[in-house]
Structure 1
Amino acid sequence: MRLSLLSLFLILLLVTTKTTTASGCIGNERNVLFDLKATLKDHQGVLSSWRGLNCCSWYGVTCNKTGHIIKLNLGNNKSMEYALTGDISPSLVNLTHLEYLDLHGNDFGGGSIPEFIGLFKNLRHLDLSFAGFGGKIPPHLGNLSKLNYLDISNIPDSSFTSSSSVDNLLWLSGLSSLAYLGMSSWNFSAASDWLESLNMLAFLEELHLYSTHLPPTDLNSLSQSNFTFLNKVDLSGNYLSSTFPHWLTNITTMTHIELSYTGLHGSIPEAVGNLTALEYVFLSENSLEGAIPTSIGKLCNLQVLDLSSNNLVGDMDNLGKAMARCMKQLEFIHLESNNLSGSLTGWLGSFKTLLSINLHNNALSGPVPSDIGQLTTLYELDISYNFLQGVLYEEHLANLSSLTVLDLSSNLLRISVHTDWVPPFQLHQLQLRSCPLKSGVPQWLRTQTSISRIDLHNTGTVGTLPDWTWTSLTSLTDLDLSNNQLTGTLPASMVHMESLRILGLGSNHLEGQIPDMPRSIEVLDLSNNSFTGPLPYHLGGSGLLFVSLSNNHLNGSIPVYFCDMELLSGIDLSNNNLSGELPNCWKQNTRLLVLDFSNNNLEGEIPSSIGSLTSLCSLHLNKNMLSGVLPFSLSSCDSLILLDLGENHFEGTIPTWIGSNMHLLVILRLRSNQFSGNIPDGLSQLQRLQMLDLANNKLSGPLPRNIGNLTLMASRQSARIISLTFRGLPADIIVYYNASLYITTKGYERLYSRILYLMKSVDLSDNALTGEIPVEFGALAQLKNLNLSRNRLSGRIPERIGSMDSLESLDISWNHLSGAIPQSMASLHSLSHLNMSYNNLSGKIPQGSQLQTLGDEDPYIYAGNKYLCSPLVSESCYEHKLNPIYNDEDTHGHDVFLYVVSGLGFGLGFSAIWWLLIFSEAVRKLYFQSIDSVCEKFFVRMILLKIN
C-alpha cells in the first residue's frame, strides 16, 4: 500500500513537471501575471494574448531557459492614449528573477511608485517614465544595487507634476551600477543635496533632469567630480544661477550638453574646445556673456549648436570661418537674439549638411552671399532683425529645394526674380516683414500651394490683392499684409478659406463691405481701412479670439453674435459710425478681456448683462451718446483695470461701488458727462489708480482729502495696463492690442497707448468744486499731470505742492485762489506746462525757478492776477505789493493814514502857491509873463502852419 501511494506521488510529480516544462512557464509566476491583468484596465487590448498556460509566449513577457520571467515589457511604444490604466498588483514582487521592467507611457493616475519595486534584487532595467506616477519617489528604489537603467521621468506640466516630489536624493548612493538616470519633471526643490548625490554615481553615462525645480546651485562647487564616463547631461529648465560648469570640459567622452533655461551667467570657457566628441550643445535662454570662443571650431563632430537668447558677442566673420574648418556634420546653427556682428560672407556656404540656420535679432550687416545656394539640404533660413541689405536673386535660391521656412524680416533685403519665376521649393512660412518690396504681392507666391504662413507686414506692398490669394493658397493659416498700401475690396470667396486662423489686413486702403469670414478665423484685424456698411452676417465661428475693425466707416448696429463667442478675448469696434443700443445678451461664461466701442453713435443705457463680463479688464464706451445712470450690475466687473465712459450723457452721482468693488482699477475716465454731487471718498480705496479724469461734469463740494492716499500715484512703480498679444505659427506676433487713452495734459488732448502705463494724472477741471486744495495732494509725488482749473477753489496754494517733483503739467487757472505762490514750487524742475491765470494770486514769483522761466516764455500763464508780480505788470514790483483784499496782514489802518497824509500834503502845497500869487507882486508878475510867452509862441506856430 505504501509503495502504491509512493508510486502515485512520483507519477503525479512527474506529470506536473512535464506540464510546467511543456508550458514553458512557472505556474505561480503565470498566476502573478493573471493578478496583474486583473488590476489593470486594458483599453486597447494590449493584454489580449494573456491566455493559456505558456505565459512565456504572451505579449511583453520574456522567460529564461528555466521558465522564469526575466523581462516584462508593457511600455506604450505606440503612444496609444491610456493603453493601460489602473493599479500594479503587489503580487508582482513574486517575480523574483525579474531583470527588466518597462511600464512607460501608460497612465497610473498620479498614484505613487509602489515601494515593493525596491524588492526586485535582480532588476537591471526599470522604465516607469511618462506613466502618470506622482506623490513622492520611494527611497526604496535605492535598494536596486544591480540597476544600470532608471527612468522615472514625469509628464511635463501634468496635473500631478507639482505634487510629485522628493525630500532628498541620498538613496541614489545605493545605485552603484547606474549608467542611465532619467527623473525629469519631478519637483526636487527640497533636494539641496542633488549635486553631491549625483556625484556618487561613478559609472553614470546619461543624466536627464529636465525641469525638476532644482534649487539654485553653483555647478562649480564640486571639490572633485566623479563624472568620468558621463556623455549626456540634461539639466535644462532649472534655474541654477551658476556659471558654466568647468568640470564638464574635462570629460572628453561628452557628446550632449543641454543646459538651456538654467540661468547660466558668465562666459563660455575656451576649454569647451577640448570636448571633441561633442555632437549637441544647447545653451539657449541664459545670461551668458562675453565672446563666443573660437575654440568651438575644434568641435568637428558637432551637429547642433544652440546658443540663442544670451548676451554673447562676437564677429561672425571670424567665428564662422573657424567653425567651417572642420564642422562637416553641422546641421543646426541657432545663434539668434545675441549681439553678434560681422557678415555672412566667406563661411555660410561651407556647411553643406546644414538643415537650419537661425541668426535672428543680431547686428549682422552686409549682403547675403550667393554661395548660400550650395546649402541644398537647408529647410530653415532665419536671418531676420539684422542690418543686412541688398538683393536676393534667383541664383541665391535656385538650389534650395528643401527650403520650407524663409524669414528675412526687418532687414533692407528684397527678393528680385522674374515675374514668371517658379521656385524650386515649397515654403510653409514666408516672413518678409518690413523688407522694402515696394511692389504688388509677389507673383511667385502663387506657386506655393503648401504655404501656411505669409507675413508681408509693412513692406510697402501696393495694388489690389490678387484673386489667386484666395483660390490657390488654400492652405494658409496666417496671413499678415497689414500696414501697406493695398487697395480694392475683399471677395466673398474668402469665406471658403477653411484653414485661415489669423488675418491681418489693418492699415491699408481697402474699401467696400466686409464679407463673411471663414468660421476657422481666430484673430481678425481689418482696422484703419475704409470699409463701409454694416458688419457681416458671419465674422467667424465660435473659435474667434480677437477682432479689431476700428477706424473704418462701418454703420448699423452691433451684432448679437458676439455674445455667443465664448472664447472671444477682445473686441475693438472703435472709431466707426455704429449706432443703436449696446447688445444686452452678454453671458457669464465668456472670456472677454477687452471691449472697445468708443467713438461711435451708440445710444441708450449700459445694459445690465454687461455685468456678466466678470473677466473684463478694459471697457471703452467713451465718445458716444449713451445716457442714464451707471447700472449697479457694472459693479460685478471687479477685474476692470481700465474704465472709460467719457464724452457721453451719463447722469446721477458717481457710484460709491466703483471704489469699493473695482480694486484693480488703474484708469478711471468719466469726463464730459452730466455727473453731479460730490466726488466719493471711496475712490481713495483704488490703491492701483494712476489716472483719474472727472473733468467737465457738474461735480460740486470739496476736493476729497483722502485722494492723497492713492499710493501708486506716490510710488515710482507703475501698474500693468491691459494688452493682448496673439501669435501665429510658430511663435511670431501677428496682431497685438494695446489699450489707448486720451489724456488732456499740457493744454492739449493727447492719445497715449504704448507708454500709457507711465502716465499718472488727475484731472478734475471744469466742475463746480469748492474749498481749498488739500495739502494731502502733495503726497502724490509721482503725479505728472494735475488739472484743477475752472472750478471755484479758494484759499492759498498749499506749500506741500512743491513735493510733487515729478509734475510736468499743472493747471489751476480760473479759480479764486489767493495769496503768494509757495516758494516750495521753485523745486518743480520737471514742470514744462503751467497755468495759474485768473485767480487772485499776489506777491512775487519765486526767483530763479522753472516758474519764472515758464513765465518768461509765456507771460499769459499768470494773466488775471493783478496783484501778482508777473511779466505782464510793467510797473516796479515791491516786496509788499499785495492784494489788499486777500492780504493776510491787517493793513487797513495804514492805508487810511496814507490817504489822509497824502490829501493834507496836496492841500497845503496848492494853498502855498495861491498865497504867493496873491500877496507877492514880483511872483505874480513873473507867473503871468510866463503864461503870455507860452501863448504867444503857440499862436505864432499856428499862423506859420496855416501859411505853409
Structure 2
Amino acid sequence: MKRVGDKSWKCCKILSTIEGRAHAQESQIQDQELQVLLKLRQSWRDPSSLDHWVASNSSSHYAWPEIECQEGSITELNLVDLNINYSIPPFICDLKNLTKLDLSYNNIPGEFPTVLYNCSKLVYLDLSQNYFEGPIPSDIDCMVDLQVLILAANSFSFDIPASVARLRRLRILHLYMSEYNGTYPEEIFGLSDHEELRLEYNDKFVRSQLPQNFTALKKLRFFSMAQTNALEHLDLGMNPLTGEIPGSIFALRNLRELYVYRTNVSGSIPQAVSAANLRVIDLSFNNLMGNMPEVFAQLKNLCNLILEFNQLSGRILEGIGRLPALSDVRLSKNNLSGTIPSDFGKFSPLTRFEVAFNNLTGALPEQLCHGGMLSGLAAMDNNLSGELPESLGNCSTLSVAMLKNNGFTGNVPGGLWMLRNLTGLILSGNGLTGEFPKELSPNLTRIDLSNNKFFGKIPSTVSSWRNLVVFDASNNLLSGTVPAELTMLPKLTRLLLGQNELSGILPTDIVSWKSLTTLNLSHNKISGPIPSEIDLLPVLTQLDLSDNQLSGLIPPEIGQLNLNSLNLSSNRLKGPIPAKLENAAYDTSFLNNPGLCASNSFMRINVCNAQSHRSSKTNLTLIVILAIAAVMCVLLVVLFVIRASRKNKDRFDSTPILTPFQSLNFTESNILSGLKEPNVIGSGGSGKVYRIIVNPSGDAVAVKRISINQKLNEKLEKQFAAEVEILGNIKHRHIVKLLCCISCENSRLLVYEYMENSSLDRWLHKKKRLSPISGVANNMILDWPKRLQIAQGAAKGLCYMHHDCSLPIIHRDVKSSNILLDSEFNAKIADFSLARMLAKHGEAVTFTGVAGSAGYLAPEYAHTTKVNEKIDVYSFGVVLLELTTGREAKGGDEDMCLVDWACHHILDGKAIADAIDEEINHDSFLGEISNVFKLGISCTVKPPSKRPPMKKVVQALLKCSDPLYVVEQTSRHKLDVAPLLRNPEHDEMPQSTHRLLRCNTY
C-alpha cells in the first residue's frame, strides 16, 4: 500500500525537475540572446553609444535601456539615434521573439534590409531617418504580421509597390519624405485597419489624382499628403496631384487630422463631412473654389482650420466662430465676402486669426482675445470698418497686429500701444485718428501708421522707444518739430515722416542713428539748413527732404554718403551742388531750387557762371605760350590715337560680331573703346571685368573679357559657350542679365547689366571692402534686413534654375563673390562659366573633374564625379553661414573651413548667438538670424539626399521675415526645413537638426 507522503514527495520531485529544466532552458535562451547582442555591437564597430553592452551575468542585458523583455526573452530593440553607421546583420533575427525593432535616426546605408524577413514575429519596424535607398522590395508582404511600418526620411525611390497593400494587419504606414519618382498604389487606401497614412513631402511622385474611394479606411485618424510638390508660389503646371478632393476622405469617421496642402487640387471642398473627430483641416495653397461646407461649423473638436491661398468665395460660416476648441484660423488670400462672424474668440481660445486679402466688410469681432491667448492677428487688405475693438488693448498675449488697408476709424485703443508682447503694429491705410501716446511697448520693433489722420506732436518721450527698427507715420497730420529725442533710437533703420505738417529745423545730434538706412521727411514745412553732420550716418542709402523750406548751401559732407536715392528738390537751397553729387544718378534730385547751380548741364539745373578775375589787359606773350602748348597737346593726342588704333587693330583683327539678348542702347564700338585699364573693376580665372559708360546718359555696363595672345583654348571656349547658352536663354530678376556677347578672332566679350554694389563678399569680409567703382575703402556694413533680403533673392535665383527651367541648371560655383548686388541690394546670381544643364529634374550628371571654389565644394566631390543640384544647395548653405557669421568660407577657425567650424560650434553645445557676426546689431533679429544659421547647417549636411531642395530653402527664408508665421509643432523628419523656424525666439538648435550634423572633415 503506497503512502500519501511518498506520492507527494514524488510529485514534488517531478515538479522540481520540470522547473529545473525550464530554468535551464530560460538561462540558455538568455545566454544566446546576450551573445547576439554582443555580436551585434561588434558588427556595428563598437559604437560608443553601446559601451554599456558588455558581458556580465546571464540576465544583465535585461536592464539595458535599449532592451524590452517579456517572459525571459527579448521582444523589443529600441536603437534610436545611436550613430550606427553600418548595415543590419542577418543574425539579428536570432532574437526569436523580437516583435519590435526601431533603428530610426541613425546612418544606416544600403537597400531595404530583406534579412529582416527572418524575424518571423516582427510587428513593428521603424527604419526612418537613415540613408536607405533603392526600391521598397516587391515581396515586402512576406512580413505578414507587420502592424507598423515607418520608412520615412530616407532615399527610397521608384514606385511604392502594391505589395505594401497586402500587409493586411498594417495600422500605421509612414512613407513621407523620400525620393519616390513613380506612383503609389491605390490599394493602400483599401486597408481597413489603417490608422495613420503619411505620404507627404514626396515631390517626385508621378502626377495623379487622389483616389476616390477612402471609405474602406474606417479606422483612419491621420492622413497627410501635404506638399507632394512644395512650391513657393502656386504653379498649376508642376504639381503631381490633379483633380478634386474626393468626398470619401471626409467620410472617414475616425479621421482627426487632414493635410492636403500645396498639392494643386482644385474644384470645391466636399460638402458632406462625416469625420466628426476632425481636429485639423489644412487645405491651403491649392486652387479650391466655392463656399466653405456648412458642416464645418459642426465639427466640435476642430482646432485648426487652414484654408488660406485658395479661391474660396461666399461668407465665413457663422457657426465656425462658436466651435469650442478652435485656436488657429487662417483664411487669408481668398475671395471671401460679407462680415466676420462676431462670435470668433468668444467661445474658443484663439491663438491665431488671419483673414487678410479678402473682400470682408463690417467690424472686427470684439472678443477675438476673450480666451486670453491671441498672439497673431492679420486682417489687412479688406473693406473692414468701424473702430478697433477696445478689448485689443487688454490682449496681453498679442505679438503682431496687421490691420492695414481697411476703413477703420476712431482712436487706437489706449492699451494697444502698451502691450508688453507686442512687436509689430501695422495700421497704415485707414482713417484712424488721435495723438501719439507718450509711452509704447518696450518690445515694439515696427510701427506703421502711415496714411491715416493722426495729429499732434511727436512726443519727446520717443527716446524711450529703444527697440524701434521701423517707424512710418507718413501722410498724417503731425505737427511740431522733428524732436531731437528721435535721434536717440540706436536700432532705427527706417524713419518715414513725409507728408505731414512738421516744421522747425532738423536736429543735428544724429550720431546714434548708426543703423538708419532710409530717412524721408518730404512734403513738410521744415526750414533751416541741412545739417553737415549728416555724413555721420554710415549706412544711409535713401534720403528724401524734398518739398520743404530748407535753405542755405548743400553741405559737401552729403557727398560722402553712399546714397542710392536722393531728393532735395522743391526747397530754397542755393549755391553750387557738391562736386561728388554731380552725377547722372542724381539729375532729378535738385529740381525747383532756383538758387542752386551745377557745373554740368546734364544736372537739369542752372549752370554756374564762372567769375572772371583776370586783368583787362591781355598778356600777348602768355597767349603765344598757351597757343604753342595747345598745338603740342594736339600733336600728342594725334600720336596717341594713331598708336592706340594700331594697338586695337592688333587686338581686334577681325570684324566684331555682336549677338544681342536684350534691347540695347549702345553699339559694339561703345564697348570696344571702353576696354581700358582705368575701367578695370575686377578679374577672375578667365579674364578681366570692366565698367564701361556706354552713352551720354551715364548708363554703365559690366564687360567680362576672355582673351589670350593666341586662339582661345578649349577650356575658355567652353566656359564662354556655357555662359552664353544659359544666360542668353533664361531671364529672372535674381539672375544677372546678359545683354549681349561680342566675338572677335582672339577675344570674347560678355556684356552684363552693371551691378552698382558689386559682389556680396566685398560687403561681408573686411579685407575685401572696397567701393564698387572707386576701389576706395568702404566702411559700410550690411545690416540684417539687407542680409536676409540678399539671401532670399539669391535663393530665388537658384530655385528658378533648379526647378523652373525647362532643363534644370546646376551652377557649380555658388559663392559670395558670384552673388552681385544692385543699387537696392537685390541679389543676382552671376558667373555661369561652370554651369551645366541636366537632362531632367533630379537626375545626376557626370563631370570629368572637380570644379568650384575651396570652402564651397560639397563633400561628395571628393569621391564621385556624378553630382546633381544638391552641390549648389551645399554651396548656398555656406553663403548663409557667411551671411550670419561674417566669416569666410575657407576660414572658419583653427584650420577648419566654415562648415566644419559651424558644425563643431553646435555639437559643442555653444549658443548660436556666439557665432553671429559682431557687426550685426542682432538684438532685434536674433530669432531670424538663428533660423538662417540653422538653415545653413541643414543645407551643408554631408549626405546630398538629406539637403533640402532650393524650393524649400526659399520657403524657409521667406518665413523668416514673416512675423505672423508660426510653424506647427511636428516631428516629421530631420530634413524638413520647417522645424528650423519652429522656435524663432529661442537660440537652441532643434534636436532633429542635431541628428543631421555630420562634420565633413576628411
Distance 1:332 1:643 in 2: 56
What are the Cα deviations for residues 27-47 of structure 1, in whole angstroms up to 9, with x where unaligned?
A: 232233233434558988575
Q: Is 2:394 the partner of 1:402?
A: no
2:98 corresponds in structure 1 to 98
The residue correspondences of 1:439-450 to structure 2 (distance < 5 A) are 441-445=436-440, 448-450=441-443
- Establish whether residue 68 from structure 1 lines up as the match of residue 65 from structure 2: no
Per the alignment, do residues 209 and 686 of structure 1 end up closer, same or farther by CA in structure 2, a change over 3 Å counting? farther
| CA-atom RMSD in angstroms | 5.8
- The 3 A distance-change label for structure 1 pair 534 and 416 is closer
Aligned counterparts of 2:534 and 2:494: Cα–Cα separation in 1: 20
Q: Does the 8 A contact of 1:310 with 1:337 survive in 2?
A: yes
Matched, 1:202 2:192: yes
One-letter identity of the residue aligned with 1:344:
I
Q: Which residue of 2 aligns with 1:235?
A: 225
Query: What letter corresponds to residue 542 of structure 2 in structure 1?
Result: L
Say whether the 8 Å CA contact 2:458–2:483 is kept in structure 1: yes
Q: Is residue 643–residue 667 contact of structure 1 (8 Å, CA) maintained in 2? A: no
Contact conserved, 2:99 with 2:121, CA < 8 A, in 1? Answer: yes
The partner residue of 2:216 within 226, 243, 263 is 226
Pick from 349, 353, 357 the counterpart of residue 353 of structure 1.
Answer: 349
> What secondary structure does 2:339 align onto?
coil
In the superposition, relative to structure 1, how do residues 558 and 651 fare at CA in structure 2: closer, same or farther (>3 Å)? closer
Q: Relative to 1, partners in 2 of residues 1:398 and 1:359: Cα closer, same or farther, differing over 3 Å?
A: same
- CA distance in structure 1 between the partners assigned to 2:488 and 2:752 by the alignment: 47
> Using a 3 Å threshold, how does the CA distance of structure 1 residues 537 and 331 change in structure 2: closer, same or farther?
closer
Aligned to 2:255: 254
Q: What is the Cα deviation at residue 266 of structure 1?
A: 0.6
Question: The residue matched to 1:389 in structure 2 has which SS?
Answer: strand
User: Are 2:171 and 1:179 equivalent residues in the alignment?
Assistant: yes
Structure-2 separation of matches of 1:527 and 1:492: 14
Note if contact 2:690-2:704 (Cα within 8 Å) is conserved in structure 1. no
Displacement of 1:146 in angstroms is: 0.9
User: How many Å separate the matches in 1 of 2:100 and 2:387?
Assistant: 60
- Specify the code of the residue in structure 2 equivalent to 1:206: E
Q: CA deviation at 1:75?
A: 2.7
Q: Is the 8 A contact 1:110 1:135 kept in 2?
A: no
Alignment CA distance shift 1:61-1:119 (3 Å): same
**Mapped contact 2:439–2:461 kept (Cα < 8 A):** no
Find the partner of 2:30 among 23, 26, 29. 26
SS of 1:26's equivalent in the other structure is helix
Match of 2:768 in 1: none
Structure 1 position 49, deviation (Å) = 6.5
Deviation at 1:579, TM superposition (A): 7.0
Q: 1:125 to 1:555 in 2, by over 3 A?
A: farther
- Aligned residue type for 2:376: E
Distance 1:636 1:555 in 2: 40
Q: Cα–Cα, structure 1 residues 467 and 226, in superposed 2: closer, same or farther, change >3 Å?
A: same
Aligned equivalent of 1:376, options 372, 377, 402: 372
Q: Secondary structure at the match of 1:247?
A: helix
**Counterparts of 1:639 and 1:388 in 2: how far apart (Å)?**
58
Structure 2 counterpart of 1:431, which letter? I
Aligned counterparts of 1:465 and 1:42: Cα–Cα separation in 2: 69
The change in CA–CA distance for 1:215 and 1:581 in structure 2 (over 3 A counts) is: same
Match in the other structure for 1:307: 307
Contact in 1 for aligned 2:333/2:356 (Cα 8 Å):
yes
Q: Distance in 2 between matches of 1:416 and 1:665?
A: 56
State the SS of the aligned residue for 1:71. strand
User: Does structure 1 retain, via aligned residues, the 8 Å contact 2:392–2:415?
Assistant: no
Give the corresponding residue for 2:771: none
Deviation digits for residues 315-367 of structure 1 (CA, Å, limit 9, x no counterpart): 23xx1x23346x22222221111111111254335433333221111111122
1:549 and 1:459 map into 2 onto residues whose CA distance is 23
Letter aligned with residue 170 of structure 2:
L
Relative to 1, partners in 2 of residues 1:372 and 1:575: Cα closer, same or farther, differing over 3 Å?
Answer: closer
Conserved in 1, the CA contact under 8 Å of 2:706 and 2:749? no
Corresponding residue of 1:323: 320
Preserved CA contact (<8 Å) 1:375 1:400: no
| CA separation of 1:102 and 1:652: change in aligned 2, threshold 3 A | closer
Say which SS state the counterpart of residue 30 (structure 1) adopts.
Answer: helix
Call closer, same or farther: CA 1:653–1:69 in 2, change over 3 Å. Answer: closer
Cα distance in 2 for partners of 1:42, 1:440 equals 71
Identical aligned residues as a percent: 22
CA distance in 1, matches of 2:227, 2:701: 56
Distance 1:450 1:422, change over 3 A: closer
* Counterparts of residues 491-502 of structure 1 (less than 5 Å): 494-495=489-490, 497=491
1:234: Cα distance to partner? Answer: 0.4
Contact 1:211–1:235, Cα closer than 8 Å, also in 2: yes
With a CA cutoff of 8 Å and minimum separation of 6, indicate the structure with the bigger relative contact order: 2
Q: Do the aligned residues in 1 keep the contact of 2:111 with 2:133 (CA within 8 Å)?
A: yes
Structure 1 unmatched runs, 5+: 1-12, 77-81, 155-160, 540-546, 561-570, 583-595, 604-616, 669-678, 693-723, 738-752, 757-948
TM-score (norm 1): 0.52
Query: Partner residue of 2:264?
Result: 263
Unaligned runs of 5+ in 2: 1-17, 229-238, 523-529, 546-553, 568-576, 590-597, 601-661, 708-719, 732-740, 755-783, 798-822, 827-1002
Partner of 2:114: 115
Which of 662, 665, 680 is matched with 1:631 structurally?
Answer: 680
Instruction: Describe the superposition over 1:429-484 as per-residue Cα deviations: whole angstroms up to 9, x where unpaired.
Output: 43324344556654452xx334455444555767887676665554x6x5353756
Aligned: 1:283 with 2:275: no
Give, as a single letter, the amino acid of the residue that structure 2 aligns with 1:182. Answer: H
Shift of 1:91: 3.6
Residues 903-928 of structure 1: per-residue CA shift (max 9 Å, x gap): xxxxxxxxxxxxxxxxxxxxxxxxxx
1:413 maps to what in 2? 408
Q: Is the 8 A contact 2:87 2:109 kept in 1?
A: no
Structure 1 residues 354, 650: CA separation in 2 closer, same or farther (over 3 Å shift)? closer
**In 2, Cα distance between equivalents of 1:44 and 1:413:** 64
Partner of 1:58: 64
Q: 1:480 to 1:44 in 2, by over 3 A?
A: farther
Which of the residues 29, 37, 41 maps onto 1:37?
A: 41
Greater CA drift, 634-643 or 118-127: 634-643
Q: Deviations over 1:695-729 (max 9, x none)?
A: xxxxxxxxxxxxxxxxxxxxxxxxxxxxx997989
CA distance in 2, matches of 1:420, 1:218: 51
Asked if the contact 2:423/2:446 (under 8 Å) is kept, the reply is yes
How far residue 666 of structure 1 moved from its aligned partner, in angstroms, is 11
Which whole-Å CA distance do the structure 1 matches of 2:324 and 2:404 have between them?
A: 29
Q: 1:764-815: per-residue Cα shift (whole Å, max 9, x none)? A: xxxxxxxxxxxxxxxxxxxxxxxxxxxxxxxxxxxxxxxxxxxxxxxxxxxx
CA displacement at 1:170 relative to structure 2:
1.9
Asked whether the 8 Å contact 1:361–1:384 carries over to 2, the reply is yes
CA contact (8 A) 1:255 1:277 kept: yes
User: How many matched pairs?
Assistant: 602
Q: Which residue of 2 aligns with 1:128?
A: 127
Aligned residue in 1 for 2:495: 505
Deviation of 1:632 (Å):
8.3
Following the alignment from structure 1 to structure 2, what is the Cα–Cα distance between the partners of residues 139 and 346? 56
* Counterpart in the other structure of 2:605: none
Cα distance, 1:101 vs. partner? 1.4
Report the alpha carbon displacement of residue 309 of structure 1 after superposing the two structures with TM. Answer: 0.7
> CA 1:185 to 1:108, structure 2 compared with 1: closer, same or farther past 3 Å?
same
CA distance in 1, matches of 2:702, 2:281: 65
